[in-house]
Amino acid sequence: MKKIILSYILFFVCFSVIKAEDGHQLWLRFDKIQNTENFFSGIISSNEFVANEFQQSWKKMSGFNLHKKNKLSDNVLVIGTIKDRLIKSLGLEKALKPLGKEGYLIKTIRKKNQNYTVVAGNSAAGELYGMYHLLRLLQTNEFSYNLNISELPTYAHRLLNHWDNLDRTVERGYAGYSIWKWDELPATVSPLYQEYARANASIGINGTVLNNVNASPLILTKEYLEKVRVIAAELRPFNLKVYLSINFSSPKELGGLADSDPLNPDVQKWWKEKAKDIYNLIPDFGGFLVKANSEGLPGPMDYGRTHVDGANMIADAVKPYGGIVMWRAFVYDPDGDDRAKQAYREFKPFDGKFRDNVIIQLKNGPVDFQPREPFSPLFGAMEKTPIMAELQITQEYLGFSNHIAYLAPMWKECLDSDTYAKGAGSTVAKTTDGSIFPQKITAIAGVANIGEDRNWCGNHFAQANWYAYGRLAWDYNLTSEEIAEEWIKMTFTKEENFLKPVKELLLSSRESVVKYMMPMGLHHLFAWGHHYGPEPWCDVPGARPDWLPKYYHNANEVGLGFDRTTEGSNAVSQYNSPLKEQFNDIKTCPENLLLWFHHVPWNYKMKSGKSMWDELCYTYDSGVQEVRKYQKVWDKMEKYVDKERFKHIQSRLKIQSKDAVWWKDACLLYFQQFSQMPIPYDIERPIWDLEELMQIKLDMKHHN
């Protein structure tokens, strides 16, 4: 250990950026930057909160606070809103107009041989986001006196969904217990709440659903709403609105009503009163997220009603207060038809029937957050009903917080997918942001990967996904690379020898996970329940068929994959032309989705010239080799990183490296029973016997 300690001390002397580090600061480290004494002569701001937020981080970077000024002088920093006379006097009104409530300008204004750096918005929210943007420019060495930045967010509602239970377990959470300390609220207020709010504000997230979509009715009790009120108060200064997931049976469970039928006037009344109570406590309460008639949860169909009946009833209750209802389309019944088709089948007929404060929340893919899915065909299919994408930041299906998988490329892959809903260029993003369909509400949701762990996300690199989600929710036109670069510079170092290889690692990391877990369109080969590790053989007596991997991979002596062509489940028909034809034809179907749409013979010749089986083997193996490469890359970074984060990531990569081999061996050895073909002999051989892998039963729950 001496060497490591020694070099740490040396580096600490040379570059103060390297210090022992638990990652709690996220991307808001604000390490020292150079020449700060010349940047600003002082600060003018009518918003004390925003000015203080700035000063706090500025002091970390510069070592000193800026003097408050009352009038313009050379190099002064001005932060304000359109309501400030100073901002108007600088002639920014016109430029601010199209930026809406949350947009902002960051401009260098030259007057009388003086430079003013101006951050201006139409509201305190705009100021706030602009101020964080300025901090980012400073921290990443992008600050100059030639700034002319104008930003407004893509989506109006940029939400985190916490799958946090009231007992503080987190469904699919891999970073410790929930940050919401229900047991000590409202009396005790954790400092985590404001830290959390700041982190979200710094990347533009403006709403958070505090509790699990598998919701307990208890969240709507007086007792809990009082706790929610306190959290809301902590988040409010950071422009972060609170939302709640509700249980559709709440009127019956909590209110003692006979049922929760949406057409029952008592039920409607109950919801209206509940909404009133909530808005009395939290005037800016955002609204409700509803998972209904899905995976055993109650819903309107329990009473012979429809999603429309249910959603509209709740929408009516919050409407007077400006609240919205996010109604999840993640529904599927074990009815024998292809699960991938059900959201479309169930919701498409309701287009235009929802209230205007309802938005349909739809997972990116038609099944369930798999490492790779095609986009859900419901995107672009509803012209009169707003749809919002639900992305999963927590890595339920991508190695939990053990595997490094930078997810911006996965989300961009969905958002950039062309639905052809209104001709070419109708990307998923554009079908949801109001630019193709007129929609009053635009929104996006990300299932949070946040917990009580000191580093928030269980893995330092998983912070990049929280960051990337926020940045993409703000502006989906950002590239994965731009976001990765920002994040690395903010979170680690701007040193090029670190930035370049680590950025490359991040950018390819999700594809590596796809390769060693489920390449070529394979999906849902995960272990039962907890979803960690491979179980393509999984067979639980009496289980729903669509909860078993065999439902999805259909391995047999002929081949592998799910026939969703016109000859099969005909899921392709839910896509617009030319996609439906492209997906339907094995020759034109993208090879990275081949086994999603086709049951492909083992000997089928791929574009590489290899048989499907050989390609599968080589792809699994390349995933393993890529993780090994990441280990090499990371180990070389030792001198650029503090010891703690270096060791943490190094250790996680070791797990990932082992797991990649586990995945490869499990899937290839299992499928080999059907392919009856040898694993190509130039590929590294399995180190496990199928029999022993089949005996692995990890003692894990689906919540932490």
Asked if 500 interacts with a second copy (CB under 8 A), we say no
CB neighbour list of residue 217: distance below 8 Å, 6 or more residues apart: 246, 247, 249, 250, 253, 254
What is the C-alpha to C-alpha distance for residues 79 and 489, in angstroms, rounded to an integer?
25
Residue among 48, 120, 112, 139 nearest 77 (CA): 120
- 418 bridge partner residues: 427
What is the C-alpha to C-alpha distance for residues 574 and 576, in angstroms, rounded to an integer?
7
Tell me, rounded to whole angstroms, the distance of Cα 488 from its chain centroid.
18
Residues 554-573 that bind a second copy (CB under 8 A): 557
Asked if 635 interacts with a second copy (CB under 8 A), we say yes
CB neighbour list of residue 267: distance below 8 Å, 6 or more residues apart: 251, 257, 259, 260, 261, 313
Asked if 695 interacts with a second copy (CB under 8 A), we say no
In angstroms, give the least distance from the CB of 359 to a second copy: 45
Residue 491 in contact with residue 463, Cβ under 8 Å?
yes
The binder of a second copy chosen from 678, 696, 697, 698 (CB under 8 A): 678
In angstroms, give the least distance from the CB of 400 to a second copy: 17
Count the residues of the shown chain that bind a second copy, applying the rule CB under 8 A.
Answer: 32
Asked if 681 interacts with a second copy (CB under 8 A), we say yes
Tokens of 191: 């400092």
Residues 36-95 that bind a second copy (CB under 8 A): none
In angstroms, give the least distance from the CB of 7 to a second copy: 9
In angstroms, give the least distance from the CB of 48 to a second copy: 48
In angstroms, give the least distance from the CB of 347 to a second copy: 43
Asked if 682 interacts with a second copy (CB under 8 A), we say yes
529 class by beta-carbon count within 10 Å (0-12 exposed, 13-18 middle, 19+ buried): middle
Tokens 């692995």 correspond to 696
What is the C-alpha to C-alpha distance for residues 509 and 424, in angstroms, rounded to an integer?
30
Helix axes 222-235, 265-281, angle to 10 degrees: 40
Cα dihedral 5, 7, 8, 14 sign: positive
Q: Which residue, 609 or 681, has its beta carbon nearer to a second copy?
A: 681
Tokens of 242: 């609170």
What is the C-alpha to C-alpha distance for residues 517 and 525, in angstroms, rounded to an integer?
8
Per-residue contact flags (x/-) with a second copy for residues 646 to 665, judged by CB under 8 A? -----x-xx--xx-------
Asked if 628 interacts with a second copy (CB under 8 A), we say yes
> By 3-state DSSP, what share of the chain in percent is helix, strand and coil, each rounded to 5?
40, 10, 45
Which range of residues in 220-228, 281-289, 326-334, 667-675 is near a second copy by CB under 8 A? 667-675
Which range of residues in 384-392, 441-449, 470-478, 627-635 is near a second copy by CB under 8 A? 627-635
Cα dihedral 135, 102, 485, 624 sign: positive
Q: Which residue, 236 or 658, has its beta carbon nearer to a second copy?
A: 658
Tokens 């499907």 correspond to 612
Asked if 15 interacts with a second copy (CB under 8 A), we say no
What is the C-alpha to C-alpha distance for residues 367 and 524, in angstroms, rounded to an integer?
9
Asked if 539 interacts with a second copy (CB under 8 A), we say no
Q: Which residue, 6 or 540, has its beta carbon nearer to a second copy?
A: 6
Q: Which residue, 495 or 638, has its beta carbon nearer to a second copy?
A: 638
What is the C-alpha to C-alpha distance for residues 702 and 704, in angstroms, rounded to an integer?
7
Q: Which residue, 266 or 644, has its beta carbon nearer to a second copy?
A: 644
Q: Which residue, 108 or 631, has its beta carbon nearer to a second copy?
A: 631
Q: Which residue, 551 or 688, has its beta carbon nearer to a second copy?
A: 688
Q: Which residue, 402 or 431, has its beta carbon nearer to a second copy?
A: 402
Active-site annotation holds for 84: no
Active-site annotation holds for 368: yes
Strand pairing report for 207-209 and 157-161: parallel
Residue 622 in contact with residue 686, Cβ under 8 Å?
no
Q: Which residue, 539 or 635, has its beta carbon nearer to a second copy?
A: 635
Asked if 6 interacts with a second copy (CB under 8 A), we say yes
Which range of residues in 212-220, 481-489, 535-543, 675-683 is near a second copy by CB under 8 A? 675-683
Active-site annotation holds for 295: yes
Q: Which residue, 113 or 676, has its beta carbon nearer to a second copy?
A: 676
Which range of residues in 3-11, 328-336, 570-578, 583-591 is near a second copy by CB under 8 A? 3-11
Residue among 249, 252, 229, 251 nearest 241 (CA): 229
Residue among 231, 240, 174, 651 nearest 392 (CA): 174
The binder of a second copy chosen from 181, 422, 686, 702 (CB under 8 A): 686
Tokens of 52: 């203080």
Asked if 676 interacts with a second copy (CB under 8 A), we say yes
Catalytic residue among 183, 295, 557, 581: 295
* DSSP-assigned letter for residue 396: T
Catalytic residue among 84, 396, 615, 642: 396
What is the C-alpha to C-alpha distance for residues 571 and 334, in angstroms, rounded to an integer?
16
Which range of residues in 203-211, 251-259, 482-490, 625-633 is near a second copy by CB under 8 A? 625-633
Catalytic residue among 164, 309, 338, 368: 368
Catalytic residue annotation? 295, 368, 396
Enumerate binding residues for a second copy (CB under 8 A). 1-4, 6, 557, 628, 631-632, 635-636, 638, 651, 653-654, 657-658, 672-673, 675-679, 681-682, 684-689
